[in-house]
Structure 1
Amino acid sequence: MKGSVVCMFTVTQRAGKYSQPRGGFLKPSSFEKITLRDDVVLSENENIDSSLIGLAVDYMVRYLYGNEKSNVFNISLAGAKLIGKTKVAKELINNIKGLDKKSIVSLCKLVGFDAITRAGINAYRPIEYINPNEDTINNIIFMINRTKIFLIGFGPIIKSGGVLMTDNAEFVKIGDFDFITNDALWDLKVIKKDIQSKHTLQLLIYYLIYSRNNEINNLKRIGIYNPRKNVIYIKNICEIDKSIIDEVNKKVIGYK
């Protein structure tokens, strides 16, 4: 049609903007909620953006579970390249060894480049201003350790940090899930509140794209883990109505 423009979105963008039915395609209340217990009380005195903290936790867990740095930090590197900061990004990556202070500070600065890749240059904030304080560093370490404990109970990890590309979809182009275990696909959400319908839709989209790209899989559940609240949200795939799957495939993702 003359003059028509089809916009392509990431999974996160599409899930966040799509107008869902009342309560959402997958109501958060329909997920089983499991609270894990420990003696850790996170500080409320964080001084960097929560999105950076979430990425830092996610990427460090992937790295600690044996993924190559070039794979873990590929989005950060892509963003740095767009503004001529590849050398800076590589120096930060070389500083990342484990859960020591220098590693965490370097990690927080590095993920600052992600905004360029994910949202464009206008979303970038100079990484020189990203200087996590002691409380922020400790919170990140606590949440990484919580995630490791969670994965001991619900793992092992079969695959982590996979990029999902759609084939012949009208609306969604790309996304990246966090973990796949023996029978579940997981998304990591480092948020202060309970999950919302945009989060459950994002998770469902990941599952549907993964299933389309991998006809043979053993996935029986989808889940979200929030290390900030130390809470698991999980749902059996067999409980999802086929009409919902069909509608999300067609109207949200744009599969023909």
Structure 2
Amino acid sequence: MIKISGVPVTSRIKQVKQPRGGYINPKAFKSQSLGDGMDTLNPDENVHASLIGLAVDYMTRFMSGTPATEAFKISIKGASIIHEESKATRLIAGVNGLDDDSVVNAVKLSGFDVVYRSGLMGYKSVDEINPDAPTIRNVRTMIERSLHFLDAYGPKVLDGFTFEGGYTCIVSAGDGDFTTSDTLWDFKVSRKPVSKENTLQLLMYWRMGLHSIHPEFKNIRYLGVYNPRLNIVSRIAVADIPSDIISQVEHEVIGYNA
């Protein structure tokens, strides 16, 4: 068996020098507000934005029908690496809905992710991750917004998927957020609008999905970003992405036929 060595999608994006404006200019995405935005959230949070993003993503999966052990599977893998499975199991048992304790446990669980994704260097003990009341309210609101988003654009088809069959010697890891019947979605909780890094990530996921074991990607007609902090949906039709850009990203960025 040939061992594939490479980097995750997010790391590859940092390595690549994109054309001016990006392979897909974010301005090409059409955006729509789904209601109240950042101005109705608490301005300050005492937990890193990356953990909040993971907690919102995983809790949205859980609240839309995915078992907690599946929704938090990356967290469980991270906990296993540092022999904290029992702690992760206790935290998962305490994730039951959108009550304060469930939200706190979800945020703590997300702290294990860094071990699996990046190694021990960036790990902070989950015992030290203690979201305060404003942070808990923000996370809950963003989960509720995400569930409303799925009501409007769903139902979901896949969530938390990887790209077996689509990895290369250049890109060997990466996991997507959601697909609905015709759209590949990425969740972002940034305070900033869609970036060229976000659009390249979606383009890579789409092409890797088409090369992967998941037949659902054959039905994808749009690439989309949903940001529950801003409460904005941004989408582009894949038919509007130039074929030469798709080919360039497939060959030079992902490494197909390389």
Task: Tell me, yes or no, whether TM beats 0.5.
Answer: yes
CA displacement, residues 122-178 of structure 1 (integer Å, 9 cap, x when unaligned): 110111110000000000010011111111111111121111234461211121111
Counterpart position of 1:69? 68
Counterpart position of 1:30? 28
Counterpart position of 1:83? 82
Counterpart position of 1:223? 224
Aligned-residue CA RMSD (Å): 1.6
| CA distance in structure 2 between the aligned counterparts of 1:152 and 1:112, rounded to whole angstroms | 28
> Contact between 1:115 and 1:124, CA under 8 Å: does it hold in 2?
yes
| CA distance in structure 1 between the aligned counterparts of 2:81 and 2:176, rounded to whole angstroms | 24
Counterpart position of 1:209? 208
Q: Is residue 205 of structure 2 the alignment partner of residue 200 of structure 1?
A: no
> Structure 1 pair 167/238, CA: closer, same or farther in 2 (3 Å)?
closer
> Structure 1 pair 89/54, CA: closer, same or farther in 2 (3 Å)?
same
> Contact between 1:165 and 1:173, CA under 8 Å: does it hold in 2?
no
CA displacement, residues 93-131 of structure 1 (integer Å, 9 cap, x when unaligned): 111001001111111111100001111111101111100
Alpha-carbon distance, 1:187 to partner: 0.4
| CA distance in structure 1 between the aligned counterparts of 2:178 and 2:73, rounded to whole angstroms | 17
Unpaired segments ≥5 residues, structure 2 = none
2:40 maps to a residue whose letter is V
- What SS is found at the alignment partner of 1:22? coil
- What SS is found at the alignment partner of 1:224? strand
2:82 maps to a residue whose letter is I
Correspondences of 1:13-28 after superposition (within 5 Å): 13-28=11-26
1:152 maps to a residue whose letter is D
- What SS is found at the alignment partner of 1:16? helix
| CA distance in structure 2 between the aligned counterparts of 1:220 and 1:195, rounded to whole angstroms | 19
Correspondences of 1:28-177 after superposition (within 5 Å): 28-38=26-36, 41-167=40-166, 169-177=168-176
1:226 maps to a residue whose letter is N
Counterpart position of 2:6? 8
Unpaired segments ≥5 residues, structure 1 = 1-5
| CA distance in structure 1 between the aligned counterparts of 2:169 and 2:151, rounded to whole angstroms | 38
| CA distance in structure 2 between the aligned counterparts of 1:232 and 1:82, rounded to whole angstroms | 36
Counterpart position of 1:3? none
CA displacement, residues 23-48 of structure 1 (integer Å, 9 cap, x when unaligned): 11001011101122238700012101
Query: Percent identity of the aligned residues?
Result: 39
1:125 maps to a residue whose letter is K
| CA distance in structure 1 between the aligned counterparts of 2:165 and 2:13, rounded to whole angstroms | 15
Structure-1-length-normalised TM-score = 0.94
- What SS is found at the alignment partner of 1:163? coil
